[in-house]
Amino acid sequence: MSKPRVAIHKFASCSGCQLAFVNMGTELVELVKLVDLVHMAEVGHVLPDDAEMDIAFIEGSITTPHDVERLKSIREHSKFLITMGACATSGGIQALRNNADSAEWMRSVYARPEFIHSLSTSGAIANYVKVDFELWGCPVSVRQMLSTVRSFLFGVPPQIQREKVCQECKRRGNNCIMVTQGAACMGPVTRTGCGALCPSFGAPCYTCYGPAENINVGSFGRRLMGLGLTQEQVVRKFSSINNAAPAFSDAAKLFCSEPWMEE
Protein backbone atom coordinates (compact mmCIF):
# COMPACT_ATOMS: atom_id res chain seq x y z
CA MET A 1 0.00 0.00 0.00
CA SER A 2 1.37 3.47 -0.88
CA LYS A 3 2.19 5.80 1.98
CA PRO A 4 0.28 9.08 2.49
CA ARG A 5 1.86 12.04 0.72
CA VAL A 6 2.89 14.96 2.94
CA ALA A 7 3.99 18.47 1.91
CA ILE A 8 5.43 21.32 3.95
CA HIS A 9 4.78 24.65 2.25
CA LYS A 10 6.44 27.94 3.14
CA PHE A 11 4.97 31.44 3.08
CA ALA A 12 6.19 34.57 4.95
CA SER A 13 8.22 33.13 7.82
CA CYS A 14 11.70 32.66 9.24
CA SER A 15 11.71 28.91 8.39
CA GLY A 16 12.23 28.13 12.09
CA CYS A 17 9.29 25.72 12.18
CA GLN A 18 10.67 23.76 9.23
CA LEU A 19 14.09 23.69 10.89
CA ALA A 20 12.48 22.35 14.08
CA PHE A 21 10.95 19.63 11.89
CA VAL A 22 14.28 18.75 10.23
CA ASN A 23 16.03 18.77 13.63
CA MET A 24 13.70 16.16 15.13
CA GLY A 25 16.43 13.55 14.63
CA THR A 26 15.59 9.85 15.01
CA GLU A 27 11.86 10.61 15.19
CA LEU A 28 12.10 11.93 11.63
CA VAL A 29 13.28 8.47 10.56
CA GLU A 30 10.22 6.99 12.28
CA LEU A 31 7.96 9.52 10.57
CA VAL A 32 9.19 8.79 7.06
CA LYS A 33 8.40 5.12 7.66
CA LEU A 34 4.75 6.22 7.91
CA VAL A 35 4.55 8.93 5.21
CA ASP A 36 6.21 10.10 2.01
CA LEU A 37 7.54 13.61 2.52
CA VAL A 38 7.27 14.67 -1.12
CA HIS A 39 7.45 18.48 -0.93
CA MET A 40 9.68 20.52 1.37
CA ALA A 41 11.80 23.12 -0.40
CA GLU A 42 14.10 23.48 2.63
CA VAL A 43 15.44 19.96 2.05
CA GLY A 44 15.29 20.07 -1.76
CA HIS A 45 12.00 18.27 -2.49
CA VAL A 46 9.97 20.60 -4.71
CA LEU A 47 6.62 19.85 -6.36
CA PRO A 48 4.10 22.33 -7.81
CA ASP A 49 1.43 23.76 -5.51
CA ASP A 50 -1.26 21.81 -7.38
CA ALA A 51 0.32 18.40 -6.63
CA GLU A 52 -2.17 16.11 -4.86
CA MET A 53 -1.43 15.69 -1.11
CA ASP A 54 -2.90 13.82 1.81
CA ILE A 55 -1.59 16.28 4.40
CA ALA A 56 -0.29 19.80 3.68
CA PHE A 57 1.50 21.63 6.49
CA ILE A 58 1.65 25.39 6.04
CA GLU A 59 4.39 27.52 7.57
CA GLY A 60 4.20 31.32 7.32
CA SER A 61 1.62 34.05 6.89
CA ILE A 62 -0.07 35.47 3.79
CA THR A 63 1.46 38.80 2.73
CA THR A 64 1.12 39.05 -1.08
CA PRO A 65 -1.61 38.51 -3.70
CA HIS A 66 0.54 35.69 -5.12
CA ASP A 67 0.50 33.97 -1.69
CA VAL A 68 -3.30 33.98 -1.80
CA GLU A 69 -3.34 32.24 -5.21
CA ARG A 70 -0.77 29.66 -4.09
CA LEU A 71 -2.65 28.92 -0.88
CA LYS A 72 -5.98 28.40 -2.66
CA SER A 73 -4.34 25.95 -5.06
CA ILE A 74 -2.72 24.03 -2.18
CA ARG A 75 -6.06 23.84 -0.33
CA GLU A 76 -7.85 22.58 -3.43
CA HIS A 77 -5.36 19.74 -3.85
CA SER A 78 -4.91 18.68 -0.18
CA LYS A 79 -7.14 16.36 1.85
CA PHE A 80 -6.03 17.89 5.16
CA LEU A 81 -4.40 21.27 5.72
CA ILE A 82 -2.62 22.00 9.01
CA THR A 83 -1.03 25.30 10.06
CA MET A 84 2.43 25.03 11.51
CA GLY A 85 3.46 27.73 13.97
CA ALA A 86 2.50 31.24 14.99
CA CYS A 87 3.06 32.84 11.56
CA ALA A 88 0.58 30.54 9.84
CA THR A 89 -1.86 30.31 12.74
CA SER A 90 -2.16 33.96 13.79
CA GLY A 91 -0.10 36.03 11.31
CA GLY A 92 3.13 36.00 13.33
CA ILE A 93 5.29 38.87 14.57
CA GLN A 94 5.01 40.38 11.07
CA ALA A 95 1.30 41.07 11.74
CA LEU A 96 2.43 44.09 13.79
CA ARG A 97 2.30 45.86 10.44
CA ASN A 98 -1.50 45.37 10.34
CA ASN A 99 -1.83 48.40 12.61
CA ALA A 100 0.47 50.58 10.50
CA ASP A 101 0.18 52.39 7.18
CA SER A 102 1.95 49.79 5.02
CA ALA A 103 2.03 52.05 1.94
CA GLU A 104 3.80 54.73 3.98
CA TRP A 105 6.26 52.17 5.36
CA MET A 106 7.09 50.95 1.83
CA ARG A 107 7.64 54.51 0.64
CA SER A 108 10.00 55.14 3.56
CA VAL A 109 12.03 51.93 3.00
CA TYR A 110 12.16 51.33 -0.76
CA ALA A 111 13.40 53.74 -3.44
CA ARG A 112 10.88 52.26 -5.95
CA PRO A 113 7.92 50.97 -3.92
CA GLU A 114 5.86 50.55 -7.10
CA PHE A 115 7.75 47.27 -7.69
CA ILE A 116 6.62 45.80 -4.34
CA HIS A 117 3.36 43.85 -4.62
CA SER A 118 2.33 43.12 -1.07
CA LEU A 119 -0.92 43.14 0.88
CA SER A 120 -1.40 45.75 3.59
CA THR A 121 -1.70 42.96 6.18
CA SER A 122 0.06 39.79 7.30
CA GLY A 123 -2.80 37.30 7.55
CA ALA A 124 -3.32 33.93 9.19
CA ILE A 125 -4.00 31.01 6.84
CA ALA A 126 -7.53 30.60 8.26
CA ASN A 127 -8.37 34.11 7.01
CA TYR A 128 -8.20 32.72 3.46
CA VAL A 129 -8.97 28.98 3.39
CA LYS A 130 -10.45 26.24 5.59
CA VAL A 131 -7.90 24.92 8.10
CA ASP A 132 -8.34 21.39 9.48
CA PHE A 133 -6.04 21.76 12.47
CA GLU A 134 -3.81 24.43 14.00
CA LEU A 135 -0.40 23.91 15.59
CA TRP A 136 0.69 26.96 17.61
CA GLY A 137 4.16 27.86 18.80
CA CYS A 138 7.22 29.72 17.60
CA PRO A 139 8.55 27.32 16.57
CA VAL A 140 6.09 24.44 16.73
CA SER A 141 6.71 21.51 19.02
CA VAL A 142 7.91 18.50 17.04
CA ARG A 143 6.16 16.23 19.55
CA GLN A 144 2.87 17.92 18.65
CA MET A 145 3.57 17.60 14.93
CA LEU A 146 4.24 13.88 15.20
CA SER A 147 1.18 13.30 17.33
CA THR A 148 -0.98 15.22 14.83
CA VAL A 149 0.32 13.26 11.83
CA ARG A 150 -0.36 10.00 13.67
CA SER A 151 -3.89 11.13 14.53
CA PHE A 152 -4.72 12.01 10.93
CA LEU A 153 -3.17 8.76 9.65
CA PHE A 154 -5.14 6.61 12.07
CA GLY A 155 -8.39 8.56 11.70
CA VAL A 156 -8.66 9.76 15.32
CA PRO A 157 -9.23 13.38 16.38
CA PRO A 158 -5.94 15.14 17.19
CA GLN A 159 -5.45 16.26 20.77
CA ILE A 160 -6.28 19.94 21.19
CA GLN A 161 -4.32 21.67 23.95
CA ARG A 162 -5.83 24.91 25.19
CA GLU A 163 -4.90 24.95 28.86
CA LYS A 164 -2.44 27.47 30.30
CA VAL A 165 1.34 27.23 30.60
CA CYS A 166 0.81 27.58 34.38
CA GLN A 167 -0.82 24.16 34.48
CA GLU A 168 2.21 22.61 32.81
CA CYS A 169 4.45 24.36 35.37
CA LYS A 170 2.41 22.82 38.19
CA ARG A 171 2.73 19.34 36.68
CA ARG A 172 6.50 19.80 36.39
CA GLY A 173 6.76 21.00 39.99
CA ASN A 174 8.16 24.41 38.99
CA ASN A 175 8.06 27.23 41.53
CA CYS A 176 5.96 30.02 40.00
CA ILE A 177 8.41 32.75 38.91
CA MET A 178 5.66 35.38 39.03
CA VAL A 179 4.86 34.62 42.69
CA THR A 180 8.40 33.94 43.93
CA GLN A 181 10.39 36.43 41.80
CA GLY A 182 7.84 38.99 40.62
CA ALA A 183 8.57 38.06 36.99
CA ALA A 184 6.15 39.39 34.33
CA CYS A 185 5.48 35.89 32.99
CA MET A 186 2.70 35.54 30.41
CA GLY A 187 2.07 31.87 31.30
CA PRO A 188 -1.37 32.60 32.88
CA VAL A 189 -2.76 33.69 29.46
CA THR A 190 -0.69 31.49 27.12
CA ARG A 191 -1.65 28.03 25.87
CA THR A 192 0.65 25.18 26.68
CA GLY A 193 2.23 22.73 24.27
CA CYS A 194 5.85 23.68 24.96
CA GLY A 195 6.04 21.86 28.30
CA ALA A 196 6.49 25.22 30.13
CA LEU A 197 9.91 25.52 28.54
CA CYS A 198 10.84 29.08 29.53
CA PRO A 199 9.66 29.12 33.17
CA SER A 200 11.38 25.76 33.70
CA PHE A 201 14.64 27.61 33.06
CA GLY A 202 13.66 30.66 35.13
CA ALA A 203 12.65 32.83 32.14
CA PRO A 204 9.20 34.43 31.77
CA CYS A 205 6.86 33.09 29.08
CA TYR A 206 6.37 35.57 26.21
CA THR A 207 3.19 34.11 24.60
CA CYS A 208 4.68 32.13 21.71
CA TYR A 209 1.92 29.46 21.87
CA GLY A 210 -0.87 32.02 21.61
CA PRO A 211 -3.89 32.62 23.83
CA ALA A 212 -5.09 29.87 26.21
CA GLU A 213 -8.78 29.15 26.82
CA ASN A 214 -10.91 31.23 29.22
CA ILE A 215 -8.39 33.99 29.90
CA ASN A 216 -9.16 37.27 31.67
CA VAL A 217 -6.77 39.70 29.99
CA GLY A 218 -8.12 42.71 31.90
CA SER A 219 -7.36 41.25 35.32
CA PHE A 220 -4.08 39.82 34.16
CA GLY A 221 -2.92 43.14 32.67
CA ARG A 222 -3.70 44.84 35.97
CA ARG A 223 -1.66 42.18 37.78
CA LEU A 224 1.28 43.00 35.49
CA MET A 225 0.92 46.67 36.38
CA GLY A 226 0.89 45.64 40.04
CA LEU A 227 4.32 44.13 39.38
CA GLY A 228 5.53 47.53 38.18
CA LEU A 229 4.90 47.46 34.41
CA THR A 230 3.63 50.63 32.78
CA GLN A 231 0.46 50.55 30.71
CA GLU A 232 2.58 50.74 27.55
CA GLN A 233 4.69 47.79 28.71
CA VAL A 234 1.51 45.76 29.23
CA VAL A 235 0.42 46.59 25.66
CA ARG A 236 3.82 45.42 24.40
CA LYS A 237 3.53 42.16 26.36
CA PHE A 238 0.36 41.32 24.40
CA SER A 239 1.83 42.63 21.12
CA SER A 240 4.39 39.92 20.55
CA ILE A 241 4.57 36.86 18.29
CA ASN A 242 0.81 36.26 18.38
CA ASN A 243 -0.21 39.94 18.40
CA ALA A 244 -2.98 39.36 15.82
CA ALA A 245 -4.66 36.51 17.75
CA PRO A 246 -7.99 38.15 18.69
CA ALA A 247 -7.64 37.67 22.49
CA PHE A 248 -4.23 39.37 22.48
CA SER A 249 -5.05 42.14 20.00
CA ASP A 250 -8.19 42.93 22.06
CA ALA A 251 -6.04 43.04 25.21
CA ALA A 252 -3.55 45.41 23.57
CA LYS A 253 -6.42 47.70 22.47
CA LEU A 254 -7.93 47.58 25.96
CA PHE A 255 -4.72 48.75 27.62
CA CYS A 256 -4.08 51.30 24.86
CA SER A 257 -7.39 52.99 25.53
CA GLU A 258 -8.09 52.78 29.27
CA PRO A 259 -6.37 54.96 31.92
CA TRP A 260 -5.91 51.96 34.24
CA MET A 261 -3.32 53.45 36.59
CA GLU A 262 -5.34 56.60 37.35
CA GLU A 263 -8.21 54.65 38.95
The residues binding ligand SF4 (CB under 6 A) are 13-17, 59, 85-87, 92, 138-139, 165, 190, 194, 196-199, 205-206, 208-209
Q: Between 34 and 96, whose beta carbon lies closer to ligand SF4?
A: 96
Q: Amino acid identity, residue 190?
A: T
Q: Residue 250's closest CA among 220, 208, 205, 228?
A: 220
Q: Between 123 and 139, whose beta carbon lies closer to ligand SF4?
A: 139
Q: CB 112 → ligand SF4: shortest distance, Å?
A: 28
Q: CB 139 → ligand SF4: shortest distance, Å?
A: 4
Q: CB 80 → ligand SF4: shortest distance, Å?
A: 20
Q: In this structure, is the dihedral angle defined by the CA atoms of residues 255, 256, 262 and 263, taken in order, positive or negative?
A: negative
Distance of CA 232 to the CA centre of its chain: 23
Q: CB 67 → ligand SF4: shortest distance, Å?
A: 14
Q: CB 207 → ligand SF4: shortest distance, Å?
A: 6
CA distances to 10, 59, 155 from 17, in Å? 10, 7, 25
Contact 252, 238 (CB under 8 A): yes
Instruction: Tell me how far apart the alpha carbons of residues 225 and 261 are, in angstroms, rounded to a whole number.
Output: 8
Q: Between 153 and 247, whose beta carbon lies closer to ligand SF4?
A: 247
Q: Between 19 and 103, whose beta carbon lies closer to ligand SF4?
A: 19
Q: What angle do CA 82, 134, 24 make, to 5 degrees?
A: 70
Q: Between 48 and 195, whose beta carbon lies closer to ligand SF4?
A: 195
Instruction: Tell me how far apart the alpha carbons of residues 256 and 233 are, in angstroms, rounded to a whole number.
Output: 10
Q: CB 143 → ligand SF4: shortest distance, Å?
A: 13
Q: Between 4 and 204, whose beta carbon lies closer to ligand SF4?
A: 204
Contact 36, 4 (CB under 8 A): yes
